Structures are given as structure tokens and as C-alpha cells.
Amino acid sequence: AALYCRRYVAGGQCKSTAKLDGKVVVITGANTGIGKETARDLARRGKVIVACRDITKAEAAASEIRAETGNQQVVVKKMDLADTKSIREFAEKFLAEEKELHILINNAGVMLCPYSKTADGFEMHLGVNHLGHFLLTFLLLERLKQSAPARIVNVSSLAHHGGRIRFHDLHGEKCYNRGLAYCHSKLANVLFTRELARRLQGKSHWRAEFTANALHPGSVHSELVRHSFVMTWLWKIFSFFLKTPWEGAQTSIYCAVAEELDSVTGQYFSDCQPAYVSPWGRDDETAKKLWSVSCELLGIQWD
């Protein structure tokens, strides 16, 4: 029974053996947890660029992956999602150095932070989990288009079910709850994916070759709960019922490489299969409004 239960917890696995020869992947926050496991798997297939805030940790992870996979093309670049200047610097360097980009995995995230703001004055969860990745995707979009077929993969969460986009108090200045702030930011990931896919489909000449999907990795035993003593404690107690980072990475890998998703876009996956999206995550009006508010906050024009 224990074995069966463990197998159930592990969830779906990515069966694809697709190679990414000559292809370039960018993944954010890949120095720990599911990001690191995603990078490890993709490094067996092609070139991986790891964009992280903590260079020391990222280098340690990258050298471990290089040693294990024999792939020297695991490159670390500095990028802090809590600072738009850092995101722009990363993108500028990347575009100068790399002529192609085939897969962008917006994986990094913060969870349950005490109230704080990013360098640009955004509430931390919204700023890092949504706005930082929104800006990064915007800056790398042309390169993705030129390299089509290309994929954008946004790591969201089941927590999006508890989220609402509170336009009247986006930065939680009137009312803040760190658990809900996380849920709101994960809903933003789902809505961003939906609207991005809609816009990409409108540009029919590269429609089938350019996809954007979101996913829930599962409840994973990772460092993500480090800001909460209670959650850290619960995670330890219930670790048997949590996915390992490797198991948690499977759906990210699936969305990045699975051949059957070549022309699938705007979807949300869990355990390597389509999953249920909350009614708020399917609201096109909210998705459009979030898009224009995000552009305003970031000072960009993205039509």
C-alpha cells in the first residue's frame, strides 16, 4: 500500500526522449528544487542557460550538472527577477551572445515572503513570479519567434485556485496575506499564459510553431517554503506525501519537449496531462486587463 501511495504521489512522468541538438533553453531559478532538476534533464538533450540571482549557488548546481551529463553547455547568467534593471541587463547580454532561443522556462518563484517590495516597488510575489517573467518574456520574444518552433513554459501552481487579481490593491498595500499573495501571483501566471497564447495565435504566420503553456508541478519537497516555519515543519512531517524535486520537474520537462505538444498552446498541465483551471484563470477580460496593467507597471508597449 505504501508503495502504491508513493507511486500515486509521484504522478506523471515525461516519457519523451526528444533531443535538443543545437537548441537553446533558458530557465530561470534553476539552482535548486524543480528548476535544477529540469535543467539537469534538459542538459542531457541540449544547451541550457541558467538565469539566477545567486551566482554562487547557480555555479555549484551547473558544475554538478555538467559533470553528471557530460554537457559543457550549461551556462550560468546573473538575473534578479526582483529588479527590472537586472532582467534588462540579462536580456541584453543574452541577445548579444545567442542568435537563437527555442525554449524559455519561467520557473523561478518566491513563496510566503513576509511583506516586501522589489527594487521597482512591486509587491514581492507579484513582482518576481509574474511581472519579472512577463518582462523577461517580452524582451526575449523576438528571438523566440526567429527560432520557431519555440515554446514558452510558465510554472504556475494549483494555488492559482485560491488567487484573485485585486486590481484595486495589486501591491497588497491595503491588505496583505502572504499565502494569498502567492496564490494571486500564480493566478497571474495562468492568465498571462492564456493571453499570451491568444495573442500569438492571432499572428497566424507563426501560429503552430510558437506555443505558451502553464503547469502545476505538484506539491514538491523543495526550498520554496523556507520563509514559513510552520510550512517547513509540515513539509518535513509529510515528506512521504510530497513529490521529490525530480518528480516535480516532470511536467515542466514534458511541456518543454513532448512532441505531442508541438501545436498545443494556452493550456494548463499537471502530472504531464491537461488539468482543471479555476474559473478566474479562464476569465479573458481579467487576462486582458492584467496584460495592460502589467505593461503599464513595467513601462513597456507590448501589442
pTM: 0.93
pLDDT band at residue 303, thresholds of 50, 70 and 90?
Answer: confident
Tell me 185's DSSP state.
Answer: H
Rg (CA), the chain: 18
**CA-CA distances (angstroms) from residue 303 to 141, 282, 295?**
12, 21, 10
At 189 the pLDDT is 98
Task: Report which listed range, 51-60, 193-202, 204-213, 235-244, is most confident.
Answer: 51-60
Average pLDDT of 111-140? 97
- CATH classification of 1-298, choosing from 3.40.50.720, 1.10.3720.10, 3.20.20.140, 3.40.50.2000? 3.40.50.720
Taking only the tens place, the pLDDT of each residue in 176-191 is 999 899 999 999 999 9
d(CA 26, CA 75): 9
Lowest mean per-residue pLDDT among 64-73, 123-132, 153-162, 213-222? 213-222
Average pLDDT of 37-57? 97
Q: pLDDT at residue 204 above 90?
A: no
Catalytic residue numbers? 182
d(CA 279, CA 277): 7
Taking only the tens place, the pLDDT of each residue in 258-286 is 999 999 999 999 999 999 999 999 999 99
Domain boundaries, the chain: 1-298
